[in-house]
Amino acid sequence: MEILTYAFMQRALLSGTLIGILCATVGVYVVLRGMSFIGAGIAHASFGGVAIGFFLGINPLLSAVVFCLLVAWGIAGVARTGQVKEDTAVGVFFASTMALGILIIGLMKGYNVELFSYLFGSILAVTPTDVWLTVAISAGILGTVALLYKELEFITFDAEMAQVVGLPVTPLYFLLLTLIALTVVVSIKVVGIVLVSALIVTPAAAAWQLTYRFHVMMILSMVFGAVSTIGGLLISYWLNTASGATIVILATLIFFLAFLFSPKRERPWWRFAE
Amino acid sequence: MNLQQVKTAATTPAKNSQPVVELHDVSVAFDSLVVLEHVNLEVQPGQFVAIIGPNGAGKTTLLRVILGLLRPQTGTVRVFGKEPWDLGEDRQRIGYVPQVLTVDLKFPVTAGEVVLMGRYGRIGLFRRPSKQDVAKAKEAMARVGVDHLWDKHFGHLSGGQRQRVLLARALVNDPDLLILDEPTTGVDVTATETVYSLLRHFHEQGMTIIVVSHDVGVVATFVDTVACVNRKLVAHGRPEEVLGSEELAQMYGCDVAFFHHGRVPHMVVKPAPEEMEEEEVDF
């Protein structure tokens, strides 16, 4: 356990645990509402935001926050007109913002190693400032979810009915996208742009296999998210593997276990072939 | 020829002058597709109205207009004398039962939670449901005989049970106006009669009820007014006036087939000929 005495490891574990819980929390809404592609789209858009930050010489997480929020709201705004389907809007923004990032990198001289650590995540990259940013944003997101728990559940379950009973469905939808965008941005340093959407979707998907209750799904998802990030970080340290990839593989293992032993299965997996 | 001129000879006299629902010259189009055209409709307090018509006739669109989910391109809509998208507190006076097939059955939610959600607009943002909200939800479920299902997963219920849970959610705020969209789709005959008996009971207690259905027969024996919609409001009047008319069949496709099986004379709006084979009528 001497690894816990390293300051960088303490920072990574604290950030990682919070990120695991955050991703798993918004993941419940993403999975139940069938918005996995939005999570992936916003994650890839953050690459453009990070690149802009490097180009302008400001904190890349800051520029990524602004950029991801604009993209998330842009997707929602375009989709709400009804002229373009939501997944089409994501598809358009997703590729174009990634392209923008690549263009901007091309404009910069030299090869930026740090920028590429955002793509795949690195525990060494977590600075004390990042930890405070993660703590603050986590508190904001988890607090918002706690305050609007019943409303977010309702619009995820049945948005039309939520509107009929008088909930402000459109602002809540934009708020949900905002929460997803902020979660993505605080997560990319540890797990990386390419893998963050897996950390959003997989723990929630695993939790859904095991319960018929919303709040149980929420708690299980948070536990799976935290276990995946803490376990993944420790394993990646011992085996000297990439942290983001190790976390996601561990989360996926949990998902498959949940899938195989799900009480919802009509027949057990060992009789699947019959 | 013009049944629109048949006066709404409501069996229930209006208790006060203000109609619960007023639509005047309402037209709705999605791009170039006209779904509703110049619809005029009034529903008086205490009336039990069925909106019938073939598939794709704009029945659900009409409900969405009344619920304030959709703004018509032209015309005026009033519910309780207000615009339905700006009802304020009066929104809680409407109970709505959507088509049961539109509800996500895999969502991790219990029957009790589904009913409790009907209170969320009244409870307000940031607050948790109180004991009183839970009591109201249980009471609403008891009214329709599904209180024993409180802890059951919604997706595990039978079609008839699900329908009654959705009805309980609509009743949870003691609505003055109850709106139902195809409440008997995917539900067997016994459950259908249960639902309509409940509706008749609420009607007798003075509730205003609007039900959309393609199942004319069941409707005809319970409601006091039928409005036949096929893009336009084709006919509006008492069931025997509207449903006995040849004109419906000829002019507008509200063709009615009669059956006399079981306890209730059974009629359905005939689908277009090419759809006939799929539309199996069972009793």
Provide the residue ranges of all domains of chain A, joining segments of one domain with +: 2-260
> What's CA A126's distance to the chain center, in Å?
17
Q: How many CB pairs under 8 A join A and B?
A: 72
Give the CATH number of domain A2-260.
1.10.3470.10
**Chain A residues close to B92, C-beta within 8 Å:** 165-166
Question: What are the tens digits of pLDDT across the range A17-44?
Answer: 999 999 999 999 999 999 889 888 999 9
Instruction: Give the per-residue pLDDT at B201.
Output: 93
Do B189 and B218 touch, CB atoms closer than 8 A? no
pTM strictly above 0.90: no
Average pLDDT, chain B: 82
- B118-130 pLDDT, tens digit per residue, is 999 999 999 999 9
- Tell me the average pLDDT across A62-76: 92
pLDDT of residue B2: 41
Q: Which residues in chain B touch residue A80, judged by CB atoms under 8 angstroms apart?
A: none
> What is the model's pLDDT at position B187?
79
Handedness of CA A202, A208, A210, A214 (dihedral sign): positive
Task: Measure B248 CA to nearest chain A CA, in Å.
Answer: 33
Sheet holding B177-181, edge to edge: B94-97, B177-181, B208-213, B48-52, B225-230, B232-237
For testing the chain B interface, which of A151, A155, A163, A165 should be mutated: the one with the most B CBs within 10 Å? A165
As assigned by CATH, the class of the B3-14+45-68+87-275 domain is: alpha beta
Q: Is the dihedral of CA B127, B130, B133, B137 positive or negative?
A: positive
CA distance A222 to chain B (A): 16
Classify the phi-psi angles of A126: left when phi > 0, otherwise alpha if psi is within -120 to 50, otherwise beta: beta
Nearest to A157 among B94, B104, B128 (CB): B104
Question: Taking residues A200-221, what's their average pLDDT?
Answer: 97
Query: ipTM value of the model?
Result: 0.89
Average pLDDT, 10 consecutive residues per value, chain B (283 residues): 39 62 93 89 93 84 94 95 92 93 91 97 94 97 96 94 95 96 83 89 95 78 85 77 62 48 46 41 38
For residue B16, what pLDDT is reported? Answer: 54
Amino acid B135: pLDDT? 97
Closest chain B CA to residue A163: B69
Segment A192-203, tens digit of pLDDT: 898 899 999 999
